[in-house]
Structure 1
């Protein structure tokens, strides 16, 4: 049974949807804007194990510019934090320039739970060789638009070897097992928590004016938070300008939380292909509903720490729908020249094809076969129109089996078909006609016998116009039909 013409292009649209979905996966592997929106709308809970000690404006007024004050202040702050029972302490201030009193800090800066920050590209470069505390590269991934969305647990150094990040070293010092990786990890956004301990001023820690209960068992980060002091500040996913030390605190909190899982590219590609093909096979506008569903699915998966590229899948569904629309347009464009039952061209298409090929008839002779079906009306009257349609599809399939390369088949009338043969010799005409007649002689429907008659004509010097060719084939068909009726 032949396919309905409105489904015929599925042989092309389904593979096209798969290819376009694969290309889309390569062009859009990450959904940054979607994940930004989810990060803002579904912020993570503030990790109460991380405390920020800010070198604020008041601290700078007391001690002067950060590069000029005595470094014993850090030692005093470390002693206060250590006495309060801090689990790990990170100093997010670069101490790579030597000072006269650096040797006095050897004991304070050689503790295993103290992490010292180093500049990006440098690993372990400190002011004094006597300092033995672990070091971490103080870096974050800043996007071209100036927003920090991701960070890494490892960054390359000048010699090409990977160096641990500051946040990773703090998480390890606190007892977490965090592997080194240059794969970007999503920085979890934490909305302000008014019930949480605010940033502790650095000068209060130096002077010992802190409650030990606020520090005990916590991971403490010391870093610049002063405004207008040259402290590194960037924007987070909300667009707010945030001090680098505060973002380092978020990075540590992210490492202490269950990590987000990115789908492997092959799985993303498979989902995109399946989505696009489903949109094509669903037909209609169902692809838009599928697009909305893939976007909505990103929400529960986000809560389960899975990053679903919902925008990529949504675009795949829309691509599938676009192919359906293109197919509908193509079918409507060809509706006036195509028979909806058999998928063959109609009489208008036959006239156009004959006129187009008529100019080359001298080099490539044209042959025309007209097939007439007798008994079709009885089938309709006795068994209904659906039975007649079934008979016509059977007849169409039999004619199609004898089509050669370059030949065209048309539905000439309600119970008539035409086959336009390309580059047909006299021998070709005889052979195709005989084989087609033998096939159609076995055609029947239930208990009703139907009969077919085939008329044939070929371009020659006697046939001057396309109308002459049609009339010659019609006369041949009538003769064959009359002779078969006379034989009974």
Structure 2
């Protein structure tokens, strides 16, 4: 699926070339083998068919894109979109003004076990809404998988990213998820790392991971540090997140 989407995204000219070739062949056949009186009628009919097929092709491409880059439960981007976005931002950034945060809901298994998976899905969807409502349009919020989420924050300092996550953390811990679920407080733990942190690690240490995966790995380490206390945001630091 991912390969198909990649071809469709990177080679739209190929699709147009094929369609154009088909139209050309059909027109040649019409004018070569059919009586002149039928040329116009058949030409109009074939044009209508091609327009309808083009519309259907557009719907198919859009559906492939949605399925390949969107999480069906929350409507957020998924891991495919995450890696695509992070790679582009890492290529773009000049002043190192890029931060990455990984978030994990605390004790989410207990929510599923106590209230059921429908209630758990409700929490995930509500959390997705809160994350989208409290981040900028330039930020990319994705569901990493399970109860984990990620936020790619371009044009953001470590201080700015930390302040944003702290604000979201306080919103979540006091949010009313419903009369049944609210009997158990919902919180999350988060780790945040900057592109500056990544650059320093790459300069001072030998790593087997590529820069993209290393960036995620550093954010993960900060998040695991946060989960030791729960309901906490931890900024990556070489001393205790190594």
Shorter-chain TM-score range: 0.5 to 0.7
For 2:105, what is the secondary structure of its paired residue? strand
Which of 161, 166, 170 in structure 2 is aligned with 1:429? 161
Q: Does 1:358 align with 2:90?
A: yes
The answer (yes or no) to whether the contact 2:158–2:193 under 8 Å persists in 1 is no
Instruction: Count how many residue pairs are aligned between Structure 1 and Structure 2.
Output: 169
Q: Does 1:462 align with 2:194?
A: no
Could you say if the C-alpha distance between residues 374 and 323 of structure 1 is closer, same or farther in structure 2, counting changes exceeding 3 Å?
farther
Q: Does 1:405 align with 2:141?
A: no
Higher helix share: 2
Q: List aligned pairs for 1:70-469, cutoff 5 A.
A: 326-363=58-95, 365-443=97-175, 444=177, 445-460=181-196, 461-464=199-202, 465-469=211-215
The answer (yes or no) to whether the contact 1:364–1:422 under 8 Å persists in 2 is no
Looking at structure 2, the residues matched to 426 and 333 of structure 1 have their Cα atoms a distance apart, in angstroms, of 32
Looking at structure 2, the residues matched to 405 and 452 of structure 1 have their Cα atoms a distance apart, in angstroms, of 22
For 1:450, what is the secondary structure of its paired residue? coil
**How large is the Cα RMSD of the aligned pairs?**
2.6
Q: Per-residue CA shift, 1:172-223, capped at 9, x if unaligned?
A: xxxxxxxxxxxxxxxxxxxxxxxxxxxxxxxxxxxxxxxxxxxxxxxxxxxx
5+ unaligned residues in a row in structure 1: which ranges? 1-314
TM-score by length of 2: 0.62
Could you say if the C-alpha distance between residues 440 and 337 of structure 1 is closer, same or farther in structure 2, counting changes exceeding 3 Å?
same
Could you say if the C-alpha distance between residues 331 and 364 of structure 1 is closer, same or farther in structure 2, counting changes exceeding 3 Å?
farther
The answer (yes or no) to whether the contact 2:98–2:155 under 8 Å persists in 1 is yes
The answer (yes or no) to whether the contact 1:437–1:452 under 8 Å persists in 2 is yes
Q: Per-residue CA shift, 1:239-289, capped at 9, x if unaligned?
A: xxxxxxxxxxxxxxxxxxxxxxxxxxxxxxxxxxxxxxxxxxxxxxxxxxx
Aligned position for 1:482: 228
Which protein shows a greater Rg?
1
Aligned position for 1:69: none
Instruction: Report the Cα offset of residue 429 of structure 1.
Output: 1.5
Looking at structure 1, the residues matched to 186 and 164 of structure 2 have their Cα atoms a distance apart, in angstroms, of 21
The answer (yes or no) to whether the contact 2:142–2:151 under 8 Å persists in 1 is yes
For 1:412, what is the secondary structure of its paired residue? strand
Could you say if the C-alpha distance between residues 451 and 357 of structure 1 is closer, same or farther in structure 2, counting changes exceeding 3 Å?
same
TM-score by length of 1: 0.32
Could you say if the C-alpha distance between residues 410 and 382 of structure 1 is closer, same or farther in structure 2, counting changes exceeding 3 Å?
same
For 2:92, what is the secondary structure of its paired residue? coil
Aligned position for 1:206: none
Instruction: Report the Cα offset of residue 485 of structure 1.
Output: 7.7
Instruction: Report the Cα offset of residue 346 of structure 1.
Output: 1.2
Aligned position for 1:299: none
Looking at structure 2, the residues matched to 400 and 324 of structure 1 have their Cα atoms a distance apart, in angstroms, of 31
Looking at structure 1, the residues matched to 57 and 80 of structure 2 have their Cα atoms a distance apart, in angstroms, of 25
